[in-house]
Amino acid sequence: MADAQSPALAEVVLGRPKNPDPDAACRFDQVEAPVTIVIFGVTGDLAGRMLMPALASLFAGGHLPDNFAIVGASRTDLTDESFRERMRTSIAEHDGISPDLWDKMAARLTYRQVHYDDPASFRVLSDYLDELGQSAGLGGNRIYYLAVPPTAYEDIAINLAMAGLADEVRGYARLVIEKPFGRDLQTARILEQALHTRFAEHQIFRIDHYLAKETVQNILMLRFANAMFEPLWNRRYVDYVSIMAAESIGVEHRASYYDHFGVLRDMFQNHMMQLLSLCAIEPPSLFEAELVRDEKTKVFRALRPFTQRDLAENLILGQYASGMAGGVRAPAYLDEEGVPSESLTPTFAAMKVYVDNWRWQGVPFYMVSGKRLAAKRTEIAVQFKPVPFSMFRELFGDHIKANRLTLRIQPDEQVSLTFQAKAPGPMCLRSVTMNFNYYQGYEGPALTAYAKVLLDCMLGDQTLFWRQDGVELCWKFLEPMLGDPAPERLYLYKAGSWGPQEAGRFLKVHGLTP
């Protein structure tokens, strides 16, 4: 008779499912159903630099269905041949694919000139997609990727719907949009109304490519698949959490856009809030899109609103001045082409926020992001509290450094844990660090962030995408900070530094000085 503790009996009595094949569980899903991907703004920077190389890598990796088509659409007058040549060049400038694979992929690429505010253009596009679907056996599954300025979102959504391209009679119709999702709470709601009168929420995929980075995806795995971390992940054991997204570049060619948005709208409303939510989230009952997004929304609801005192004490805004960056002289933000000479747009922000719930009450979350900083660096650090009592006080004193878990997202994706250990030889205490590098010991290249979100969109998985309620809650939290700061409250910092001197206490938690 089988022992009552045996795994076999446990499966029968308790109904526990057998573990899935580990290899099968680790493989990326392949899209089976035929699909047509229409990229609006295909001649722009985003499509050439990110989307087409991502689609090429999915094709080379066997993730795309056997039958698919990519239709480029923009205002530019191009032939199919000239469009394919532009895309070939864009893909080759990145990782590229073999000539044989490119020839096969190029046969799936076509182009149509579309004027976004012209309903007639969309009727012609609709007829073309129907003809293409019938002749190539593509069915009715379609993805519309809006790689265009946000000002064009409403026109495209309206005209897609008027042309019958938002209907899901013969297959799915999915609309993919990039941040920013509005400029404040009011404009976010206006955009939501414009989209939702034509598309249902399940059809709208709001991309945040940060969520597809390996280390970001690993936050939930690290927390909820390991018994050693989750019991300590709360106010009893965590001293503070710090989140940094530092960029070494300036505004580059995005000056006109950036001056209209600034660092709070460009980084905090989306990327930084998503990182915060993953650090603070409660465990969902199952790893499914709606359940995960429900828990994120609870975090956003629990954010402590900023008072006037908080705006004065817990928020530092800065703007980069000229300085040495990467060994060369970098201009001040006000000297960048396209930036008004008296602009008060912040390029740096540091803030301390609190999540008012049972798990995190009293634990500060420090968030820092800026442009023209000393290095490109995105990381999350969980600083644990020190031991409550030192039995080694006569040897080393009362102060023993606390443990620190660091999740590095950029430039290299890794996780490190710092703890205390005895040094070899005499009785000495020192800090040591264990490192886990994502790409050591793994075969084959990982999918890029854009390849991952494109794949998830084709699979209909919205886990890595924003939901409208989360968008609105984050705008609501940030609204008190969004107005132009008083000139004396916008602190200058040298390009190539870690930020303004006034942000020193925020940077110190990252081990940095301004």
Domain locations in the chain as residue ranges: 26-178, 211-447+467-508
Instruction: Check if the beta carbon of residue 482 is closer than 8 Å to that of residue 499.
Output: no
Q: 247: annotated binding-site residue? A: yes
271 is catalytic: yes
Instruction: Check if the beta carbon of residue 299 is closer than 8 Å to that of residue 277.
Output: yes
Q: How far apart are CA 511 and CA 383, in angstroms?
A: 12
| Lowest mean pLDDT, pick from 228-232, 361-365, 385-389 | 385-389
State the average pLDDT over residues 146-171: 94
Per-residue CA distances from 307 to 243, 304, 315, 355 (Å): 22, 9, 11, 15
Confirm or reject CATH 3.40.50.450 for domain 211-447+467-508, answering yes or no. Answer: no
Among 350, 61, 23, 416, residue whose Cα is nearest residue 215: 416
Q: How far apart are CA 431 and CA 444, in angstroms?
A: 34
Q: 266: annotated binding-site residue? A: yes
Choose, from 196, 271, 399, 510, the residue flagged as catalytic: 271
Q: 213: annotated binding-site residue? A: yes
pTM > 0.85: yes or no: yes
What's the pLDDT tens digit per position in 272-291?
A: 999 999 999 999 999 999 99
pLDDT at 340 over 70: yes
Q: Pick left, alpha or beta for residue 129 (phi over 0 → left; psi -120 to 50 → alpha; otherwise beta).
A: alpha
Q: 104: annotated binding-site residue? A: no
Assigned CATH class of 26-178: alpha beta
Between the CA atoms of 341, 343, 348 and 351, what dihedral angle is there, to the nearest 10 degrees?
160
Q: 376: annotated binding-site residue? A: yes
What's the pLDDT tens digit per position in 188-244?
A: 999 999 999 999 999 999 998 888 888 888 899 899 999 999 999 999 999 999 999
